[in-house]
C-alpha cells in the first residue's frame, strides 16, 4: 500500500526546494516573463548536476547487496514529483528551463543503449514530436528518415518544441516505413549543429514565457546511423514508438505535479489576501453554513488534494515497478484541468488583484494552462483512461 506520510528525508528535500523557489525563482519570475526568450542565467548553477542518471551495473562476480530489483531507488519518482511541485510553486517556466532536464532526456534515459547514454546522457535534449498536421495523435507524424549508407537522412517539420533554442540536441520522431504505421516510427538523436537542421522560429506565448518554444525544419539532415534510439528494426516496437511512448507514463505525473505547484501558489496567495480582509477560514464549520467565497475556496482545496493523491499514487507505482498507464493519465487529466480552474477561480476571488501585474496571480493563471495541453492533452488523457477502464484498444476507441 502507498504510504501517504512523507519520510523525514522527503520533508527535508521539500523544505529545501521550497526555500530555493522562494529565494531564487520567485524574485526573477516576473522579469523573465516580461523578457520572453531570454535565457535565465541564474539557472546555470544547475548545469553540473546529474538530474537524470542510470544505476551502475554490477561487475561480473560482484555479489548482490540487496534482494530489491535493479533500477531506480525506491521513492525516486515520488521524491521528484514533490520537488517539482515546490519548484513550480516558484515558477513553472523556469522549472522547464532547467539545463539537461528536457523531455528528450527522459526518452534517452528510457530507451537509449548504454553507449548512447554515455555519449548523450549529459547533454540537454528537447523532444520534437508535434507537427503541423500531427498533434495529439503522435502515430500520424509525417517526418521521414531514410538510411543511406552509414547515415540517416531526416526530412520534416516539428512545432511547439520546448527548449528548442537552448538545448544541445533534439530527440526527433520520424517514420522509417510509412506502410508499417506506428511500428515504423522511430526516434533519432539530432545535434543542433547538424547541417540541414534549422531552428525556424520561436513562439510568442500566453504563459511559460521564460521558456523557449520553437519550430524545427529538417531538410536532408544527415546524422550517424548509430543515432537512432533503440533498435532500427521496424518489427521491434518495444524500443521504438511504444518504447518512447512509455516515457510519458513516467513524465505525466511530473506534469501533474507542475499543475500542483502553480495552483498551490495561487491558493496560498488567495488565502493570504482573504485573511487580510478579516475572513477566518474555519474548517470545522458546516460547508452549507459558510459564505460563497469560503465554499469556493474549500472546494478548490479539496480538488487540489485529490490532484496530489492521484499524482503521488502514479509516481509510487512507477517506483515499485507497477504498470501505471491508467494512473498516470488520471493524474495528468485531473491536475491539468483542475489546476487551470483553480488558478482562474483564484483570480476571480481576488478581483482587481487577480488581474494586476503587481503580483503573480494573473501569471499563474496564464502559466498553468500548459499543463492541460502538453505531453498529451486532457482530452487524450480521458481517452486513455476510458480505454483502460473499458478494455478497448486504440483502434476500438478513438
Any idea which residues carry the catalytic annotation? 375
User: Distance (Å, rounded) from C-alpha 110 to C-alpha 210?
Assistant: 27
State the cell numbers at 16.
Answer: 529545501
User: Distance (Å, rounded) from C-alpha 364 to C-alpha 379?
Assistant: 22
CA angle 87, 130, 335 (to 5 degrees): 40
Neighbours of 122 (CB within 10 A): 16
Torsion-angle region of 82 (φ positive above 0: left; ψ -120 to 50: alpha; else: beta)? alpha
φ, ψ of residue 234 in degrees (nearest 5): -65, -35
CA 33 to chain centre: 19
| Pair 122, 114: CB distance under 8 Å | no
User: Distance (Å, rounded) from C-alpha 198 to C-alpha 170?
Assistant: 11
Rg (CA), the chain: 22
* Spatial CB neighbours of 237, under 8 Å, sequence gap ≥ 6: 182, 183, 243
- Select from 235, 246, 111, 253 the least CA-distant residue to 185: 235
Helical residues (DSSP H) of the chain, grouped into ranges: 8-20, 26-34, 76-90, 92-96, 103-111, 114-120, 241-245, 247-276, 292-319, 325-350, 361-368, 378-390
φ, ψ of residue 76 in degrees (nearest 5): -70, -40
Amino acid at each position: 500500500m502507498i504510504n501517504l506520510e512523507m519520510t523525514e528525508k522527503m520533508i527535508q528535500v521539500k523544505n529545501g526546494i521550497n526555500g530555493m523557489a522562494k529565494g531564487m525563482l520567485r524574485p526573477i519570475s516576473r522579469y523573465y516573463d516580461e523578457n520572453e526568450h531570454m535565457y535565465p542565467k541564474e539557472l546555470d548553477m544547475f548545469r553540473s548536476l546529474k538530474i537524470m542518471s542510470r544505476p551502475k551495473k554490477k561487475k561480473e562476480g560482484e555479489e548482490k547487496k540487496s534482494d530489491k530489483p535493479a533500477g531506480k531507488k525506491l521513492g525516486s519518482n515520488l521524491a521528484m514529483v514533490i520537488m517539482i511541485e515546490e519548484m513550480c510553486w516558484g515558477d513553472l517556466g523556469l522549472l522547464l528551463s532547467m539545463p539537461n532536464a528536457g523531455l528528450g532526456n527522459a526518452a534517452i534515459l528510457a530507451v537509449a543503449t548504454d553507449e548512447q547514454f554515455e555519449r548523450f546522457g549529459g547533454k540537454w535534449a528537447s523532444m520534437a514530436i508535434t507537427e503541423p498536421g500531427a498533434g495529439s495523435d503522435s502515430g500520424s507524424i509525417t517526418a521521414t528518415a531514410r538510411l543511406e549508407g552509414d547515415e540517416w537522412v531526416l526530412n520534416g517539420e516539428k512545432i511547439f518544441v520546448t527548449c528548442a533554442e537552448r538545448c544541445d540536441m533534439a530527440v526527433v520522431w520520424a517514420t522509417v516505413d510509412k506502410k508499417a504505421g506506428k511500428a515504423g516510427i522511430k526516434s533519432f538523436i539530432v545535434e543542433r549543429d547538424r547541417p540541414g537542421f534549422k531552428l525556424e522560429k520561436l513562439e510568442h506565448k500566453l504563459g511559460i514565457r521564460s521558456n523557449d518554444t520553437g519550430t524545427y525544419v529538417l531538410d536532408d539532415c544527415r546524422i550517424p546511423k548509430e543515432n537512432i534510439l533503440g533498435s532500427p528494426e521496424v518489427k521491434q516496437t518495444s524500443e521504438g514508438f511504444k518504447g518512447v511512448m512509455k516515457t510519458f507514463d513516467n513524465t505525466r505525473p511530473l506534469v501533474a505535479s507542475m499543475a500542483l505547484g502553480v495552483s498551490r501558489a495561487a491558493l496560498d496567495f488567495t488565502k493570504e489576501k482573504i485573511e487580510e480582509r478579516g475572513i477566518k477560514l474555519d474548517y470545522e464549520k458546516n460547508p452549507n453554513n459558510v459564505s460563497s467565497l469560503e465554499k469556493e475556496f474549500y472546494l478548490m482545496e479539496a480538488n487540489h488534494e485529490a490532484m496530489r493523491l492521484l499524482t503521488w499514487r502514479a509516481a509510487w507505482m512507477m517506483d515499485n515497478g507497477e504498470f501505471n498507464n491508467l494512473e498516470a493519465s488520471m493524474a495528468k487529466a485531473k491536475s491539468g484541468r483542475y489546476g487551470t480552474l483553480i488558478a482562474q477561480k483564484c483570480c476571480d476571488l481576488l478581483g482587481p488583484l487577480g488581474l494586476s501585474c503587481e503580483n503573480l496571480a494573473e501569471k499563474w493563471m496564464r502559466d498553468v494552462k500548459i499543463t492541460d495541453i502538453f505531453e498529451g492533452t486532457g482530452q487524450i488523457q480521458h481517452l486513455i483512461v476510458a480505454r483502460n477502464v473499458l478494455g478497448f484498444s486504440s483502434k476500438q476507441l478513438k
